[in-house]
Amino acid sequence: MNAPDAIRLDDADNVATAVRPLEVGETVFGVTVTERIARGHKVALSAIAAGTPVLKYGQFIGNAIEPIAPGRHVHTHNLGFAATSSDYEFCTAVKAFDMVPEAARATFEGFRRAGGRVGTRNYIAVITSVNCSATAARMIADHFTPAVLDRWPNVDGVVAYVHGTGCGMADSGDGFDALQRVMWGYARHPNHAAVLMVGLGCEMNQIDWLLEAYGLERGERFQTMNIQDVAGLRRTVETGIAKVMEMLPHADRAVRETCPASELMVALQCGGSDAWSGITANPALGVAADMLAAQGGTTVLAETPEIYGAEHLLTRRAANEKVGRKLIERIEWWQDYVARNKGTLDNNPSPGNKKGGLTTILEKSLGAAAKGGTSPLNGVYKYAEPVTAKGFTFMDSPGYDPVSVTGQIASGCNLVTFTTGRGSAFGSKPAPTLKIATNSELAARMPEDMDIDAGRILSGAASVEQVGGEIFKAWLRIASGEPSFSEAQGLGDHEFVPWQIGATM
């Protein structure tokens, strides 16, 4: 089956997306093209007066900033951002769906932890409280090469989680609370068999405060130390290596056992988006998200600036008004945040996004929200806050991929799924990342990075539902230990990036 020349996503749309470059004089949807339209870019299907809405997905994506004649290219030169309506509806589009009976649910081979949570990997973590202990943590983790770990075959590795903050910050407020939630989330993550936390000693982000606030207790699988107390870098590294050596036999006793798919919590993420993101990969990921929700599992959408302009679609799917209003509270927080920093939420589309055909944040958000499928929105959470609801949920975060994924993993996600149209080499630990190409050209150009080619939807070689089913099956395989492409290449050691909120002092 050949791909169409252009795609009109809704009968109400006054633009279509070019599937291939359209040349002057060609006709699409009865309209003659009057200027060259690059692949993935928009062509006007009717006259659009200055100041009037441009519609895609049947939704508002901005206003024309000059008259646009039929057949013209619609992009940043003639389409401008405009704020959307704040007249929200709640719970008006909640879709009922059938849960898969427990006896018929899919399974994977995972690590059951004390307390009942299930991991998809079996790592030992070395977590820093402050950037001042970053080198010590890396030196400790670097000691545990594959040759050293051969004695403990059930351990996937020793990973250092280091970051650029932890001091020069207020000891309360959004920034401090977010960092503490990240540290706590990684310390208790089910993909970690044991944890060593390393600080300097005098930093603002005190390890003891974390232990007090979250009730963490030291034991054979959770140890802490400060460089100043141990008396220097060399001794800290030697002590840290010794502590991890003591943890390894305990971690190696963990073995995989059959677990229901309801124990999966999947981060829904996108980066390097293009015009096809909202047409192929994201809707397919949404199908997989709905499949997991029907299995009793959990998906976590994030990147609040990248659902701005589509949040009204999510409030309509909120399981109750309280959930919907929590989402709006986060949108309002972001509006205030960018205003205080003299920015705008429409700053979000990157140069790469725009080159790929996206114009405004509203257009980008409508495509990004498709990752969440169609099932009810059952919970809204702050950055790195533990996700406790089942089904489809949302976690507040920036649109910057490593920061967002760090929060999703801290919230409990044991798998990550990442759609991309421009290309990405992203990977994560301790939760492995599955990457999905929005177009077949990207999948062919980066074959070692893209696990699934959703571009087949565009050519008609596969349906959205078929690719969604492939994603779901890949989740079960990767959760059972099969490495994703990014994991096989060793990605994830440098993608731990907690969100820095507030002034550095």
Residues 220 and 287 both lie in one domain = no
- As averages over each run of 10 residues, the pLDDT of the chain (505 residues) reads 87 97 97 97 98 96 97 97 87 92 95 95 98 98 97 98 97 96 97 98 96 89 96 97 98 98 98 95 98 98 95 97 98 93 81 93 95 97 98 97 98 98 96 98 97 96 98 98 98 97 90
Is residue 100 one of the residues assigned to a domain?
no
For the stretch 423-427, contacts whose Cβ atoms lie closer than 8 Å and that sit 24 or more positions apart, written own/partner, are 423/272, 423/449, 424/271, 424/272, 424/449, 425/449, 425/486, 425/489, 425/491, 426/271, 426/401, 426/402, 426/486, 426/491, 426/495, 427/484, 427/486, 427/487, 427/489, 427/490, 427/491, 427/492, 427/495
Q: What pTM, to 2 d.p., does this model score?
A: 0.97
pLDDT digits (tens, 9 = 90+) for 459-494: 999 999 999 999 999 999 999 999 999 999 999 999
Residues pairing with 437 in the sheet = 420, 453
CA distances, 268 to each of 255, 369, 370 (Å): 27, 10, 10
Is residue 479 one of the residues assigned to a domain?
yes
CA distances, 143 to each of 21, 42, 157, 240, 403 (Å): 52, 53, 11, 10, 27
Look at residues 257, 287, 309 and tell me which one is the last residue of a structural domain.
Answer: 257
Q: How many C-beta neighbours within 10 Å does residue 47 have?
A: 14
Residue 309 exposed, middle or buried by CB count within 10 Å (0-12, 13-18, 19+): buried
Is residue 205 one of the residues assigned to a domain?
yes
Residue 28 exposed, middle or buried by CB count within 10 Å (0-12, 13-18, 19+): buried
pLDDT at 399: 95
Look at residues 236, 257, 278 and tell me which one is the last residue of a structural domain.
Answer: 257
DSSP for 300-343, please give it: EE--GGGTTTTHHHHHHTBSSHHHHHHHHHHHHHHHHHHHHTT-
Is residue 505 one of the residues assigned to a domain?
no
- Secondary structure letter of residue 2 according to DSSP: P
CA distances, 15 to each of 68, 73, 75 (Å): 11, 9, 11
pLDDT at 83: 82
The amino acid sitting at 56 is K
Residues 451 and 304 both lie in one domain = yes
CATH of residue 240's domain is 3.40.50
Contact between 474 and 291 (Cβ < 8 Å):
no
Q: What are phi and psi of 478, to 5 degrees?
A: -70, -40
Residues 75 and 145 both lie in one domain = no
Find the domain containing 234 and state its range: 119-257
Q: Which two tokens stand for residue 139?
A: 């030196």
Is residue 87 one of the residues assigned to a domain?
no
Residues 152 and 214 both lie in one domain = yes
pLDDT at 1: 57
d(CA 45, CA 9): 12
The amino acid sitting at 91 is C
Is residue 146 one of the residues assigned to a domain?
yes
Residues 252 and 284 both lie in one domain = no
Look at residues 33, 52, 80 and tell me which one is the last residue of a structural domain.
Answer: 80
Q: How many C-beta neighbours within 10 Å does residue 402 have?
A: 18
Residues 46 and 137 both lie in one domain = no
Is residue 89 one of the residues assigned to a domain?
no
- Tokens 């990767």, residue? 478
pLDDT digits (tens, 9 = 90+) for 236-253: 999 999 999 999 999 999
Residues 186 and 216 both lie in one domain = yes
Is residue 198 one of the residues assigned to a domain?
yes
CATH of residue 69's domain is 2.30.130.110
Residues 274 and 410 both lie in one domain = yes
Residues 187 and 69 both lie in one domain = no
Cα 157 to its chain centre, rounded Å, is: 23
Contact between 341 and 39 (Cβ < 8 Å):
no
Cα 317 to its chain centre, rounded Å, is: 20
Residues 251 and 270 both lie in one domain = no
Cα 346 to its chain centre, rounded Å, is: 20
Residues 69 and 140 both lie in one domain = no
- Secondary structure letter of residue 151 according to DSSP: T
Residues 30 and 141 both lie in one domain = no
Q: Which H or E element spans position 124? A: strand 123-128
Contact between 276 and 439 (Cβ < 8 Å):
yes
pLDDT at 255: 97
| Structural domains counted in the chain | 3
pLDDT digits (tens, 9 = 90+) for 278-308: 999 999 999 999 999 999 999 999 999 999 9
pLDDT digits (tens, 9 = 90+) for 125-181: 999 999 999 999 999 999 999 999 999 999 999 999 999 999 999 999 999 999 999
d(CA 76, CA 24): 20
